[in-house]
Amino acid sequence: MKRALGVCYYPEQWDEAVWESDATRMADLGLTWVRIGEFAWSRMEPQPGHYDWTWLDRAIEILGSKGLKVVLGTPTATPPRWMISKHPDMLAVDDKGQTRGFGSRRHYDFSHPGYRGECAKIVTELAMRYGKNPHVAAWQTDNEYACHKTVLSYSAAARAGFQTWLAQKYQSVDALNRAWGNVFWSMEYSGFEEVGLPNLTVTEANPAHVMAFRRFASDEVVSFNKLQVDILRRHSAAPIAHNYMGQVTDFDHFAVGADLDIASWDAYPIGFLSDRGFATPEHKRHFLRQGDPDFQAFHHDLYRAVGRGRWWIMEQQPGPVNWAPWNPDPLPGMARLWAWEAFAHGAEAVCYFRWRQAPFAQEAMHAGLLRPDSEAAPAHDEVAEVARELAAMPEVQQTQAQVALVFDYASDWAWTTQPQGRDFSYFRLAFDMYRGLRRLGLDVDILPPDTGDLSAYKLVLAPGVATMSDNLLKALAGFEGTSLIGPRANSKTAEFAIPVPLPPNLPGLDAKVMRVESFPPDVTVPLTQGGAFKHWREKLDGVATETTQDGFPAVIKGGKLHYLCGWPDDTAADRILAGLCAAEGLATQIMPEGLRRRRAGDVTFLINYNAEPVTHNGVTVQGCDVNWSGK
């Protein structure tokens, strides 16, 4: 498939007089796609039930007339002010019981029936008007579900929805009481209407209660999205996407993605390095103006799985953003590098956010491809270069990775609910293992937790998956390759209890977790063969392939299934992973810091996140540059 470039555009924010020259400049720059509409509800429906489509008709016509293909967004992330007057209780409530008000975005509760009705109406109107429009070539539902912590709401609407969801699931409240162990601390209910939301309790709520609420809340996002998708499909054949955010785990992206045609994500490498992640100060300093060398790749591989192969970047950082703790300027070359890295991982399109920097409102300090005075900003010319390179390059192909990592959103809820050690993070654990594979130069596929077929892989990792699905357990039982499961894997039942017999209960592995412990960051458990466990370790009684210095198994083996008994540091991860790869005949090589490799068909990309050149296997890659074989 041919890769393409695009941009996000807000015609409603500019004088109509500039639309035509904007469209012309976009086309001249080599862009294919333009995403519009997702925040324009107040212009589409200025008063309840009164629609104004004329401006949008004209905008789409002008863009389309220059050859641009439109991604049209449903505007449901920004209900207008009149909506709040009409549905005062549609606002979400935070975990402190405070209503989250109008005045920014995402001010709605996924569980509010009235708001869902309004969304159905506006999406229907939009779909009917533009469903057959030749320029509208794709749809986006809403915008960045979960952003600003908007999945969990503690409102009356959420409570009512949760009670209904529980009644459906458990049928009887006695079943719920038994499932959650509510006899503990006399927490038993005599009816579903007695079940509250698990916030504002005196001390921690029952983790089974919290997990049920997390599952309910994720389901609400799925059904909210599906409501829109079903309407759009009725009126349009164009593919439908949603733009997910980086390191957002509050809902199950695989479940939302199952209803969509394309996954896309919003990639802000420098903002994320400042705002998210777990990097050391040295690491943050080193990659301050480039971003983390594995963070984008992880999400590329994750969203390739969420999109079942089809994925985009819907918003690509073009310069400093406005929302991170600090907002440095990307080094020259990074706007191009990020795009090429995405294409190397299989992206169909990379759209920059945004065309022109808005001089007003919340994102006035967020750079665009144009400055507020419409002159080209630095990224503009890098995009032109990518467009030229794309045109000159044969189509990017895909490679089947030989290594896979299982990623499970519910496990992030599980270990957030019950970290057992203050700094335990499922995302971090999974990302650490992913980084370890990338440090060895490997291509990685990310797999959903209900994967039932592992036959394409030689090595499969499943760190920290709280409850392993029957599908996955069956696949592991029949897997001919090597697997590395754990730590903390399969350690909970579906109702968040400790299983008896004790974990991990994995096929072919005769072992039990006798005890677990967490410890602070200044403590480790050294391994006999080098490296150490950090944060977390488990004491198992199986037969060890290697041990900790205090005499417990570090890795346990049953056939080719291995259980990892703690959270390895880099040294331990490198050694253990390289060993497993070697046994499977997978060649590995420790990559230099900041240099990463990705194969796509016959092409091998070398991507250098460092500011300085790096030479690897005789090839020198300039700082902030990407090389590919045959270039």
Site for its own copies in 124-163 (CB under 8 A): 147-148, 150
Segment holding 547, helix H or strand E: strand 544-547
Q: Is 346 left (phi over 0), alpha (psi -120 to 50) or beta?
A: left
Least CB distance to its own copies at residue 287 (A): 12
Among 21, 47, 398, 589, binds its own copies (CB under 8 A): 47
**What are 558's strand-pairing partners?**
561
Among 27, 160, 187, 279, binds its own copies (CB under 8 A): 187
Instruction: Name which of 361 and 391 has its Cβ closer to its own copies.
Output: 361
Per CB under 8 A, the segment of 51-59, 81-89, 431-439, 442-450 that binds its own copies is 81-89
* The one catalytic residue among 38, 144, 538, 546: 144
Residues 497-526 that bind its own copies (CB under 8 A): 497-502, 512, 514-520, 522-523
Q: Does the annotation mark 144 as catalytic?
A: yes
Instruction: Name which of 331 and 485 has its Cβ closer to its own copies.
Output: 331
CA–CA separation, 2 and 418 (whole Å): 45
DSSP string of 299-326, one letter each residue: HHHHHHHHTTT-EEEEEE--S--SSSSS
Residue of 253, 272, 362, 251 lying closest to 316 (CA atoms) = 272
Residues 92-111 that bind its own copies (CB under 8 A): 92, 96-107
Q: Does 17 bind its own copies (CB under 8 A)?
A: no
Least CB distance to its own copies at residue 380 (A): 12
Among 49, 134, 281, 618, binds its own copies (CB under 8 A): 281
Among 26, 208, 350, 386, binds its own copies (CB under 8 A): 208
Among 164, 201, 397, 615, binds its own copies (CB under 8 A): 201
CA–CA separation, 362 and 536 (whole Å): 41
Q: How many residues bind its own copies, per CB under 8 A?
A: 109
Residues 581-600 that bind its own copies (CB under 8 A): none
> Among all chains, which residue has been given the structure tokens 């009917």?
128
Least CB distance to its own copies at residue 286 (A): 11
Q: Does 578 bind its own copies (CB under 8 A)?
A: no
Q: Is 488 left (phi over 0), alpha (psi -120 to 50) or beta?
A: left
3-state secondary structure at position 146:
coil
Residues 415-454 that bind its own copies (CB under 8 A): 418, 420-422
Among 6, 64, 73, 80, binds its own copies (CB under 8 A): 80
Least CB distance to its own copies at residue 311 (A): 26
Whole-angstrom CA distances from 604 to 397, 435, 442 are 11, 19, 11
Among 24, 124, 247, 327, binds its own copies (CB under 8 A): 327
Whole-angstrom CA distances from 55 to 40, 80, 345 are 11, 18, 37
Residue of 274, 280, 288 lying closest to 611 (CA atoms) = 288
Residues 6+ away with beta carbon under 8 Å from 377: 318, 319, 357, 367, 368, 369, 370, 371
* The one catalytic residue among 38, 45, 118, 315: 315
Instruction: Name which of 481 and 487 has its Cβ closer to its own copies.
Output: 487
Residues 49-68 that bind its own copies (CB under 8 A): none
3-state secondary structure at position 42:
helix
CA–CA separation, 553 and 198 (whole Å): 38
Least CB distance to its own copies at residue 62 (A): 18
Residues 342-401 that bind its own copies (CB under 8 A): 357-365, 367, 371-373, 377-378
Say if CB 172 and CB 137 are below 8 A apart: no
Angle of helix 426-439 versus helix 295-306 axis, rounded to 10: 110
CA–CA separation, 269 and 576 (whole Å): 29
Least CB distance to its own copies at residue 484 (A): 24
Active site residues per annotation: 144, 315
